[in-house]
Amino acid sequence: MFRTLDQETGETLTVHVDGRPVAAIADESVAALLLRQAAPWCRTTPVSGALRAPYCMMGVCFDCLAVVDGVPSVQTCLTPVREGMRIERQQGRPDVTP
Amino acid sequence: MSRHVDLLIVGAGPAGMSAAIVAKRHGLRVLVVDEQPSPGGQIWRNIENLAGTPRAGLLGKAYGEGAAVVGRFRASGADYEPGTQLWHVEAGAGARAFLRRDGAASSVRAGCVLLATGAQERPAPFPGWTLPGVMTVGAAQIVLKSSGQIPSGPVWIAGCGPLPLLYAMQLLQAGGMVAGFLDTTPPGRSREVIAALPAALLGAPGDLLKGLSWIARLRRHVPYIRHVAAIEATGEGGLENIRYVTADGRDATVEARLLLVHEGLVPTIHPTLALGCRHVWNTDQDSFAPALDGWGETSEQNVFVAGDGAGIGGARAACLRGELAALRIAAKAGRLSEAEAEALALPVRSRLARALSPRRFLDRYYRPRPAVFIPPDQTIACRCEEVRVAAIREQIGASRPGPNQVKAFTRAGMGPCQGRQCGYTVAHVLAAAEGRSVPDVGLYRVRPPLKPVTLGELAALDTMDALS
Ligand code: FES
């Protein structure tokens, strides 16, 4: 859905999205990284199972929740990527109630 | 262990940074906490990394102005903790705030607390607004500022206010594509608000002219549809089509992968609601704001608000409101006499009046269309719990329920966002159905925590400290 600007040549690092290695750009948020993927969504809802993607990018809507390094319901728009980070799209209500 | 400061500032945007600079100048111990990874707030997001780069150039002059303020803030000596959320705050003789950072909770005691938590985009529900592929304009602009990314295909932009125009211009300049612009400003506005124009022109002639030239440029480059009264997004698992209807009945459906929407801003009031501060209804801005004295102090002693959280006023006004609050706080702490604070405040107040002079015109010109407040029945009002407007309406009966009863029966407002997206919708639907006013109906009661906090994080909070 999104792409990086042509002139940007940020330092790249590797993270894992649902187990697959993905090139990330230093300092970008996990939500921004997900918006660049072929499947630009981050979770399914607990109520109807509908797909959701980041909506506000500023910590208000909580639609960008995903499992980051094993921690469920992380607000990915507030979370910068880190080398080796494991990101999983969150399915429904997380097992561990936050 | 609990720390102690003279002033805790929540938010490192224009207001928070300006307050910190002034408070440090008068010798206060200041701690600034902020959710974002770097200072600047939403308006000047990531400015430290971008100042002087081509990206800062395309974001414009108002963005570039942030670099100087951030520089002064960094040099001020205020303690600054990024990536930190406020999840609970109590007021009294002194304030006490509970924070979380890097998976650990902590608490801070402060003589005064300044909430400079800014604004959020006004929730603007319409059928299909929860689909992947529908985002806010502000969100897309944040992605541009903080991550250097733009939509990969042609994007539809729908909304009302200066931000959609500004983002459309930035996007075109960055090499992006705008498929079309749906201007949702209702017809007849120029006539209605003409009386407020002279004050605006006197205060900020450049800004208004800039806005007009953007519209002209945009209309030359992309389909520009005026007076859009209703929008609907549809698709399987993601946006595929947008249907829009104009005020004069034109009904069209277009293919789309990304739709960006924006219907103005509303102050962030969850912290002041939780503190029990008195709030007032701002008719021009269709939103609540905390009731403040001339310095920004709320009805709760030692709790101050500055910036867009005090009422939408923009970055310049936010800086000045931050300075005023800091002067009063310094006086309260005995670092300034009342007379000295008054004298220092005088020029700040006159600059603030000037910065706010276009507000009345902007607020009235860009007042959202009615469907923003009361969307069609099939619209999801509460994104978290997927509660539709129809389900809220079903609750209305002889008992005339308030927002808290509706919450208990429908779960609207019970999800992790805690009513930040559906609070106003519920209030408007109830008010219209019950023949009451929105300020009379009010919003949900806000309970701690303000942001979800885990047991693991709480464990890090020193037990003795929590009990003391
Ligand atoms: S996208 Fe809204 S909270 Fe992250």
Domain membership of residue B434 (yes or no) is: yes
The arithmetic mean of pLDDT across residues A10-21, rounded, is 93
Q: Which of B263, B285, B316 is the last residue in one of the domains? A: B263
A67 three-state secondary structure: strand
Domain membership of residue B321 (yes or no) is: yes
Angle at CA of residue B396, ends B400 and B407, nearest 5°: 90
Whether B195 and B306 map to the same domain: the answer is no
Q: State the smallest CA–CA distance between residue B371 and chain A in angstroms.
A: 20
Domain membership of residue B465 (yes or no) is: no
Antiparallel, parallel or unpaired: β A12-17 and A20-25: antiparallel
The arithmetic mean of pLDDT across residues A61-73, rounded, is 96
Residue B462: its pLDDT value, please?
Answer: 61
**CATH number, domain with residue B111:** 3.50.50.60
Whether B350 and B390 map to the same domain: the answer is no
Whether B407 and B295 map to the same domain: the answer is no
Domain membership of residue B131 (yes or no) is: yes
Whether B102 and B186 map to the same domain: the answer is no
Asked if B114 contacts B304 with a C-beta cutoff of 8 angstroms, the reply is yes
Whether B133 and B251 map to the same domain: the answer is yes
Residue A18: its pLDDT value, please?
Answer: 97
Whether B348 and B399 map to the same domain: the answer is no
Q: Is the pLDDT of residue A61 over 60?
A: yes
**Closest chain B CA to residue A2:** B151
Cα of B419 to ligand 1 centre, how many Å?
Answer: 14
Dihedral of alpha carbons B398, B403, B409, B412, sign: positive
Q: Which of B310, B327, B361 is the last residue in one of the domains? A: B361
Whether B145 and B54 map to the same domain: the answer is no
Domain membership of residue B369 (yes or no) is: no
Whether B34 and B112 map to the same domain: the answer is yes
Cβ of A63 below 6 Å from ligand 1: yes
Residue A98's pLDDT band (boundaries 50, 70, 90)?
very low
Cα of B139 to ligand 1 centre, how many Å?
Answer: 9
Cα of B452 to ligand 1 centre, how many Å?
Answer: 13
Among B263, B258, B297, smallest CA distance to B277 is for B297
Asked if B373 contacts B334 with a C-beta cutoff of 8 angstroms, the reply is no
Residue with structure tokens 């945009």? B218
In whole angstroms, give the CA distance from residue B157 to residue B258: 9
Cβ of A75 below 6 Å from ligand 1: yes
Instruction: Give, for ligand 1, the residue of A29, A75, A79 to mutate: max count of ligand atoms closer than 8 Å to Cβ.
Output: A75
In chain B, residues with a C-beta closer than 8 Å to the C-beta of A73 are: 416, 452
**Consecutive H or E run containing B5:** strand B3-10
Mean pLDDT in consecutive groups of 10 residues from the start of chain B, 468 residues: 90 98 98 96 96 92 96 98 95 90 92 98 97 98 95 97 94 95 93 80 76 86 95 97 97 98 97 96 97 98 97 97 98 97 98 94 94 97 97 88 92 93 96 94 90 78 53
DSSP states of B118-142 as a string? -EEEPP---TTTTSTTEEEHHHHHH
Q: Is the pLDDT of residue A44 over 70?
A: yes
Q: Which of B234, B263, B292 is the last residue in one of the domains? A: B263
In whole angstroms, give the CA distance from residue B92 to residue B109: 11
Antiparallel, parallel or unpaired: β B178-183 and B155-159: parallel
Residue A73: its pLDDT value, please?
Answer: 94
Q: Is the pLDDT of residue A97 over 60?
A: no
Q: What are phi and psi of A23, to 5 degrees?
A: -80, 130
Domain that holds residue B237: 123-263
Asked if B319 contacts B18 with a C-beta cutoff of 8 angstroms, the reply is yes
Mean pLDDT of all residues belonging to chain A: 92
Residue A8: its pLDDT value, please?
Answer: 66
Domain membership of residue B144 (yes or no) is: yes
Cis peptide before B449 (omega within 30 of 0): yes
A35 touching chain B per CB within 8 A: yes
Antiparallel, parallel or unpaired: β B104-115 and B95-101: antiparallel
CB atoms within 10 A of CB B81: 14
| Domains detected in chain A | 12-88 (3.10.20.30)
Residue B322: its pLDDT value, please?
Answer: 98
* Ligand 1 atom closest to residue A77's alpha carbon, by position in its atom list: 4
Asked if A4 contacts A36 with a C-beta cutoff of 8 angstroms, the reply is yes
DSSP states of B88-122 as a string? EEE-SSSEEEEEEETTEEEEEEEEEEEE---EEEP
B434, with CB counted inside 10 A (0-12, 13-18, 19+), is middle
Strands (E), B235-379: 241-246, 251-255, 259-262, 265-267, 279-282, 287-290, 303-305
B273 three-state secondary structure: helix
Dihedral of alpha carbons B154, B155, B157, B162, sign: negative
Whether B236 and B170 map to the same domain: the answer is yes
Look at B416 and A73 and tell me if their CB atoms are within 8 Å.
yes
Domain membership of residue B456 (yes or no) is: no
**Closest chain A CA to residue B45:** A58
Among A84, A83, A85, A40, smallest CA distance to A64 is for A40
- Per the structure, the count of domains in chain B is 3
Residue A96: its pLDDT value, please?
Answer: 47
Look at B151 and A2 and tell me if their CB atoms are within 8 Å.
yes
Burial call B222-233: b when 16+ CB within 10 Å, e when fewer: bebbbbbbbbbb
Whether B379 and B435 map to the same domain: the answer is yes
Look at B420 and A61 and tell me if their CB atoms are within 8 Å.
yes
**Closest chain A CA to residue B452:** A98
Q: Which two tokens stand for residue B91?
A: 């007021």
Cβ of A59 below 6 Å from ligand 1: yes
Q: Which two tokens stand for residue B358?
A: 């276009």
Asked if B24 contacts B5 with a C-beta cutoff of 8 angstroms, the reply is no
Whether B330 and B206 map to the same domain: the answer is no
Q: Give the one of A8, A60, A71 whose C-beta lies nearest to B148's C-beta.
A: A8
